[in-house]
Amino acid sequence: METSSPITGRSGLPGAGLHRAMAATARNMVTRPARLVTTFDQPYLAYRLHADTLSYAVTLSPALGPNTALVFTGELSVTENESVRYVNHLINAGVTHRF
């Protein structure tokens, strides 16, 4: 079986054209360095950037009894710089019990 770097895509393996297209996109990005990650089923681009993140969270924990409580948390985080903006909305629910 022929092997090659997924960035160059010089092999006859399926998806080599996709790898070349993604590598071209990585070269044209303002934020660098970027690399193609093929750990999972679909290849994707991973890159590092310098940005600021603002994060806000609210937690509510009503007691169900003397040793048990529900925990609800909502979080909003915004990460941005001059060229990108990521917004994450997280909601968590759980139960705690003290033995």
* pLDDT band, very low/low/confident/very high, at 92 (cuts 50, 70, 90): very high
* pLDDT band, very low/low/confident/very high, at 42 (cuts 50, 70, 90): confident
Average pLDDT of the segment spanning 82-96: 93
Asked whether the beta carbons of 70 and 95 are under 8 A apart, the reply is yes
The angle at the Cα of 38, spanning 28 to 25, to the nearest 5 degrees, equals 10
Which helix (H) or strand (E) segment is 53 a member of?
Answer: strand 52-60
Average pLDDT of the segment spanning 40-51: 84
62: preceding bond cis by omega (within 30 degrees)? no
The string of pLDDT tens digits covering residues 50-69 is: 889 999 999 999 999 999 99
Asked whether the beta carbons of 21 and 43 are under 8 A apart, the reply is no
19 CB-side CA count, 13 A = 17
pLDDT at 97: 95
- Domain limits of the chain? 1-48, 52-97
